[in-house]
Structure 1
Amino acid sequence: MNSTLKIIGLFFLIFILFLSTLVLILFLYLKISLPSISKLKSYRPKQVNLIVDRNDKIIGYLGEERRIFVPLKKIPPHVVRAFLAAEDANFYKHKGIDFFSLLRALFKNVISGKIVQGGSTITQQVAKSLLLSPERTFSRKFKEMILAWQMEKYLTKDEILTLYLNHIYLGEGAYGVEAAALTYFNKHVWELDLLEAATLAGLPPGPSRFSPVDNPQAALQRRNYVLRRMAEVGFISEGLANQLVTKPLLVNPKNVNIPAHSAYFIDLVKAEIEKLLPKEALEQGGYRIKTTLDLEWQKKGYENLINALRGLSKKDPPEVAAVCLANADGGVRFLLGGRNYLESTYNRAILGKRQAGSAFKPFIWAEALEKGVLNPNAILPDEPITLPGADAGKDWSPGNYDGKYMGPVSLKEALAHSRNTVAVRIALLLGIDRLTDLVRRLELKFPLPINLSIALGTYEVSPLELTSAFSVFPTLGQKVTPRFVETIYDQIFDGKVIYQSEPQSKEVFSPQTASIMNDFLQEVVRAGTGRCAVALRVPVGGKTGTTQEYKDAWFVGFTADYTCGVWVGYDKGRTLGKGETGGKIACPLWLSLMQGTSHTPKPLPFYIPPQDVTNSTSPSSEISPQ
């Protein structure tokens, strides 16, 4: 009997030694095959690049993963406690593995007949999501537990929690609590109330299943579970929990896709920053890109423009492109490249080259004044004119739009009523060399050699080019360079400036010439082809443009603060219809766009020669563009 017990004991001992050896070998094998946790110390997750407007309002996101890293100090305690209650209430007590929670979760799942709790600690979840594959195997679970134990020795609890709250997927393409807060509530994480925090904390087990957007009833039940768990573990009182679970589920989801109103602008910004930053840096993300856009104006102006455009033709509305620049610094405050980005991403505002028509005439008038070819009071004949044509043996006889002639007419009146014969006569007086120099100073890429038809706007420009050229008038002769990106920060929050654009301009005309032209172009609005712009109720200068067969309609106008250009037409260059001129179509659209923001009733700038300024006159008498 004793020998039998000894044999049994020996076999048992051998079995224990064998099992221990197997466990040791498995442990050593797993330890050797485990990924290193050292990278977690300096871990920088992939983030989105945040694009904001000039007032720091979010326009959109660029990047593979919509994650916005926030340090733990920016996450309110009630948000942290909501996640701890839902996922790992003993987080600050255990060493990476919580055996009690494993048993409790198993018990509750059995009682409920379904999985209502998970047993993994937050540390284990970090190990799984950052270091391991998502496969469900014993080997992966064992690795996860070993890594969690190691992580607790290598990282502080706050460091682990920071990784978790920034890395976790919370549905709708949002990674981390900040992106999720913006996605579901259009708030920063530090602005969330307790109900909103509990809603987010309920998402990790099933972001789609508990989505407050797609499955509000399931999200409500899950939110209330989190609130009761917070009371159960002592994070809030039971009375407060009972009160909160009676509240409805409220969300304010933000459209995180590229917004229709700003899509063309975002494309431009993306192209701009790809020139400024390395590709690898952009893919890693985490940059805050401050732009020159005025988001509120972009939204309202887009809505106004599209509604006005629909009124032109319900069956087949034409395309539209528009640009607004700040005269002070060239910042693009509004940009639209087409009526529907989803139908066409082609950006007509910068790529669409079309004839400017009569919208180019102000530059011909200004050059004649600048070069002293004509004085402001000059009188020219508005009469038929015939010149040698571009083709040998053929004459060119440009006529006026209305087929009528006014006879002797002042420069101001001729521009206000857009007289073609006067424009051609001025171009003839200037000569090809001066016209070529004008094009060079305006930085327009017209094919050379220039011919006299330039006076009628036969050369093609984009809305951005023409609008930028018009900025010479409200800035007293300085053509501003359009800017899209203002500042780039190396971090989304509290980052350092790594790029700063500076306003640039160059003199095209003298202040005296620009001042005279401001008066002339206000007459276009007061009594000429741009009369619809009077309804803006602030001083406005501008010029309409219509091309042959009514294929293009333009209006470029300016106030003391902004220069805005609008083009209307079809991509294939077909007619808008007889009589559909810049004054009839483009000017009302321009007005609707400008009514999307507020304007101060400041007069347009004018030039006072220094010798005319008396000692009693303040320096502000010489009015600057801003």
Structure 2
Amino acid sequence: MKLLKPALIVILVTSFVGTATLLGTYFYIKTDLPNVDVLKDVRLQTPMRIFTQDGKLISQYGVKRRIPLTLEQIPEQLKQAVIATEDSRFYDHPGIDPIGMMRALVNLVVTGEKGQGGSTLTMQMARDFFLTREKKYIRKIREIILAWHMEQLLSKQEILELYLNKVELGHRAFGFGAAAQVYYGKSLNELTLAQIATIAGLPQAPSALNPISSPERSMVRRRIVLLRMLDEEYITQAQFEQAVNEPVTAKKYGAEINLDAPYLADIIYSEMIGLYGKDKAETGGYQIYSTASSDLQAAAQQAVRRNLHDYDERHGYHGVVKQLWASNETDDQNGQLLESANSELNNPAPWPEEQMLSYLQDVKTFESMHPAIVVKVNEQDIIIFNRQGKYSIIDWDGLDWARPFINDAKQGQDPKIASDIVQAGALILIRQREDDLHWQLAQYPQASGAFVALDPKNGAAQAVVGGYSFYQSQFNRATQAKRQVGSNIKPFIYSAALENGYTLASLINDAPITQWQSGSGNAWRPENSPAEYDGPIRMRVALTKSKNVVSVRLLRAVGLDNVAEHLTRFGFSKDDIPLDETLSLGSGSHTPLEVATAMAVIANGGFLIRPHFIQRIENEMGEVLWKANPVNACNPCVAESQINHVNADPDDLEARLAAEFGVAQQVDEPVKNILSAPRVISAENAFLVAEMMRSAVQINGAWDNRGTGWRAAMLMDRRSDIAGKTGTTNDVRDTWFSGFTPDLVATAWVGFDDNNRRLGRTTQNQNLVNKNPTKFNYIGNALIGSESGAHAAQPAWIRFMQHALAGKPEHLLPMPTDLLTVRIDKGTGKLTNRTDKTSMFEYFTQGTEPQSFVAEAEIIDSADQGEQSKKQIEDIF
């Protein structure tokens, strides 16, 4: 009893002092603690993700990789693995685990080191959200108090969900959803038990234990996780044995990009930075859906790259990347052929396979290009060693294009054998042909290209390509490169002429012009290309053949200022419009996006739409924050109040909209206010210009009457709803093709980034002609002669449109009610009663139709003209 009384006093005093100390410490640091109430509405830093309209990921921005998931979306095995390893009594303690704390205290007393912290998941959350990782007693006390507060505020399920999404797991992955993507390129529900155990072991030391940097340590940690799961009876012994013996399969994956479209993504990224600022845009978890579908964007990218390869290859081969050894060099080390470990082919190279493979791994390439080493040259094929450590054969079909490049206007002799092209020991680039996936010799195109496709009804971008490769050049030529547009300007000149009394049947003199310029002391002599002149011709024919002198005469007749003002209606900036007569030949410089926007006015019946790239913005939980409400090519447009009386059946409503407004609207939800785009030219004007542009892509009966863009119709199943215009500048520095249907408008451009460099010309490569003599000189790398819009730019447009319009019915805008058709004489544009080849029906705005009939003496009988040449052309296709 004598000893018991002092002991009780000591215990009471110690308890009192301890309690007072804890309370004092609590109240001392309480005022410095952050408010955990913010966790009720916490917003994790989540990267910005950009998708196509149909949900394919095209890019991701932000330093931290995070894929937020709800607790229901997280596999049960992962929750079990984390709880078993990090906090097995998670559901039993109030945020602080006394057993764990006591274990940490014993460890401190025994070892004298702060090796174990006894932290629960809640304490880890408190540290990660509000504190640092420094090992100090005061930090641990703060951690304990914050954990206790968090347990009062949040449920266990809420804490666990926050932890699984917040915890750092190495390689910039935050949360287990991101870790599954970074280490395995999969979603969490696709992981095996071994992979789940691997990432569940990372929170302790993500840098030291991750399976990429430290695979051996990772395997040890994985075993610990699996043992803890076995102890907690989350897995069976058989599951443990299988998982613990699996090899390490992790490697570093980028974002799960479904379609790499960096030029489009960069436009959207820049818009988001402008809206939200860089920090908020990159960490706010925004999910942006573009207006472009993955199908059309991919088709545009492929069309541009294929077209640039075709241009570059018809101009010749620039040579190998590097000659690694002399072609006659032998292996000095062993003096014999090295046997390949993975091929029946022998390795005749002086370099061992390991050396070649190591060298190839360090060669940087872009897009579809791959490095390879030529190990043997036969008569008409070569044997190559590629980056995958495999041997392949490139046959003559993949080599025969490679005659020497001399300059942009001159090529060397056609190769006869493979040794005319490469030697053994050459480092070369190869690519797979899109049509048959065979390998062929390749090189990076030196010319650049751009492509823009828009929906002419509302300006939604359908595809944007700013060059061959964003990783080679981030300059977006589709939206940033102002280049001379050449004859692409002519439809707008002709539109101005129609506004000023001209008709499609008006005769303009196609004859040479000489204009003395007193200021320079020189004569200005605009010429047709080719330099052929037909005398008086109808305006439709003049645009069809892209007659330069006719464009000059129309500019003079309408007036320079009037034409310049008219061009601004199509969205062209007045500052970019040259105020001299070269305007009529396309000396003004505009971006492909500006040209496509202007062409949309003609395609949609006269409305100026605004291009846009974002369809909607969502937060990380999929809630829509913003949705595009673009102006539409309809007048008047439908408002919600206007459709209340309309039959609710979607098909009936769509038909009503199509009939009344010329625009088919897909009705998936109640129609809100539809904003009307401003009408900038009349429906009649737009229809008549489109008619002339349809003639520009047709043969029009005789070879001599073909439009400059005739290949479009001949290679697109003779669709009658396509219209287009070529564009070629002086000295062929810029080439264009713009064309449309009422549902899709697209512009293609090809030129050099150095606009002093000409695209040049090519001579015939007989090797390519021999492959397919009937289609030679129509599209591809067998084209000959001077480059032009039809040769250099139009093939990209054709390939894209062939894909975009495949299986879709023809669609023509209805003829405006103020137009009529009358039969005219082709030679004079006057009325005629004849119904033979000398006549045709032509469109006129009421009151502008011809009033007099053609005299018999004026008629040129061309009934048989061109029939034979037309038959020959049709036989080709």
Q: Same fold (TM over 0.5)?
A: yes
| AA in 2 matched with 1:445 | S
Within 5 Å, give how 1:30-429 maps onto structure 2: 30-31=29-30, 33-100=32-99, 119-184=118-183, 189=188, 197-211=196-210, 226-244=225-243, 255-256=254-255, 261-277=260-276, 282=281, 285-313=284-312, 314=443, 317-374=446-503, 376-389=504-517, 391=519, 394-429=522-557
**Is residue 2:809 matched to residue 1:589?**
no
What is the Cα deviation at residue 569 of structure 1?
Answer: 1.8
Tell me which of the two structures has the higher relative contact order, counting C-alpha pairs closer than 8 angstroms and 6 or more residues apart: 1
**Is residue 2:702 matched to residue 1:529?**
no
Provide the residue aligned with 1:501 in structure 2: 629
- State the distance in 1 between where 2:209 and 2:14 align: 48
**Is residue 2:576 matched to residue 1:576?**
no
- State the distance in 2 between where 1:100 and 1:6 align: 30
| AA in 1 matched with 2:715 | A
Give the 3 Å change call, closer, same or farther, for CA 117–351 of structure 1 in structure 2.
same
Provide the residue aligned with 2:569 in structure 1: 441
Q: Which of 457, 462, 465 is matched with 2:594 structurally?
A: 465
What is the Cα deviation at residue 459 of structure 1?
Answer: 0.7
- State the distance in 2 between where 1:530 and 1:576 align: 21
C-alpha distance after superposition, 1:561-582 (max 9, x if no partner): 3211122222331223322222
**In 1, are the aligned partners of 2:300 and 2:465 still within 8 Å (CA)?**
no
Provide the residue aligned with 2:814 in structure 1: 607
Give the 3 Å change call, closer, same or farther, for CA 239–9 of structure 1 in structure 2.
closer
- Which moves more between the two structures, 32-41 or 159-168? 32-41
- Which moves more between the two structures, 348-357 or 63-72? 63-72
**In 2, are the aligned partners of 1:310 and 1:317 still within 8 Å (CA)?**
no
| AA in 2 matched with 1:238 | Q
**Is residue 2:749 matched to residue 1:567?**
yes
- Which moves more between the two structures, 157-166 or 15-24? 15-24
**In 2, are the aligned partners of 1:208 and 1:214 still within 8 Å (CA)?**
yes
**In 2, are the aligned partners of 1:321 and 1:463 still within 8 Å (CA)?**
yes
| AA in 1 matched with 2:151 | E
SS of match in other structure, 2:574: coil
**In 1, are the aligned partners of 2:495 and 2:689 still within 8 Å (CA)?**
yes
- State the distance in 2 between where 1:396 and 1:264 align: 41
**Is residue 2:450 matched to residue 1:450?**
no
Give the 3 Å change call, closer, same or farther, for CA 130–344 of structure 1 in structure 2.
same
C-alpha distance after superposition, 1:316-351 (max 9, x if no partner): 612222211123321112112233334433322222
- State the distance in 1 between where 2:510 and 2:61 align: 55
- Which moves more between the two structures, 544-553 or 492-501? 492-501
What is the Cα deviation at residue 284 of structure 1?
Answer: 5.5
| AA in 2 matched with 1:574 | N
- Which moves more between the two structures, 178-187 or 448-457? 178-187
**Is residue 2:605 matched to residue 1:476?**
yes
SS of match in other structure, 2:569: helix
SS of match in other structure, 1:236: coil
Provide the residue aligned with 1:432 in structure 2: 560
**Is residue 2:730 matched to residue 1:545?**
no
What is the Cα deviation at residue 467 of structure 1?
Answer: 0.9
What is the Cα deviation at residue 392 of structure 1?
Answer: 6.6
- Which moves more between the two structures, 249-258 or 538-547? 249-258
SS of match in other structure, 2:531: coil
SS of match in other structure, 1:435: helix
**In 1, are the aligned partners of 2:95 and 2:148 still within 8 Å (CA)?**
yes
C-alpha distance after superposition, 1:472-504 (max 9, x if no partner): 233233332111122223x22241434433244
| AA in 2 matched with 1:269 | I
| AA in 1 matched with 2:267 | L
C-alpha distance after superposition, 1:584-604 (max 9, x if no partner): 111223334446656444324
C-alpha distance after superposition, 1:34-65 (max 9, x if no partner): 44433323322333233222123223234453
- State the distance in 2 between where 1:220 and 1:408 align: 85
- Which moves more between the two structures, 313-322 or 19-28? 19-28
**In 2, are the aligned partners of 1:48 and 1:64 still within 8 Å (CA)?**
yes
| AA in 2 matched with 1:385 | I
Unpaired segments ≥5 residues, structure 1: 109-114, 614-626
| AA in 2 matched with 1:467 | A
**In 1, are the aligned partners of 2:212 and 2:251 still within 8 Å (CA)?**
no
SS of match in other structure, 2:749: strand
- Which moves more between the two structures, 450-459 or 412-421? 412-421
- State the distance in 2 between where 1:226 and 1:118 align: 18
Provide the residue aligned with 1:111 in structure 2: none
**In 2, are the aligned partners of 1:41 and 1:155 still within 8 Å (CA)?**
yes
- State the distance in 2 between where 1:30 and 1:488 align: 42
C-alpha distance after superposition, 1:162-212 (max 9, x if no partner): 221221122332322333344445555566665654444233234445545
**In 1, are the aligned partners of 2:51 and 2:287 still within 8 Å (CA)?**
yes
What is the Cα deviation at residue 550 of structure 1?
Answer: 1.6
- State the distance in 2 between where 1:290 and 1:306 align: 25
Give the 3 Å change call, closer, same or farther, for CA 603–368 of structure 1 in structure 2.
farther
- State the distance in 2 between where 1:8 and 1:72 align: 51
Provide the residue aligned with 1:624 in structure 2: none
**In 1, are the aligned partners of 2:57 and 2:257 still within 8 Å (CA)?**
no
Provide the residue aligned with 2:643 in structure 1: none
SS of match in other structure, 1:40: helix
C-alpha distance after superposition, 1:114-156 (max 9, x if no partner): x999853211211111111121334433432343233223322
C-alpha distance after superposition, 1:251-296 (max 9, x if no partner): 7975339999433323322332344447775466133322212234
SS of match in other structure, 1:542: strand
| AA in 2 matched with 1:582 | G
Provide the residue aligned with 1:622 in structure 2: none
Q: Is the helix fraction higher in 1 or 2?
A: 1
- State the distance in 1 between where 2:302 and 2:212 align: 25
Give the 3 Å change call, closer, same or farther, for CA 508–181 of structure 1 in structure 2.
farther
- State the distance in 2 between where 1:417 and 1:501 align: 40
Provide the residue aligned with 1:556 in structure 2: 738
**In 2, are the aligned partners of 1:261 and 1:298 still within 8 Å (CA)?**
no
Give the 3 Å change call, closer, same or farther, for CA 11–377 of structure 1 in structure 2.
closer
- State the distance in 1 between where 2:193 and 2:146 align: 32
- Which moves more between the two structures, 27-36 or 79-88? 27-36
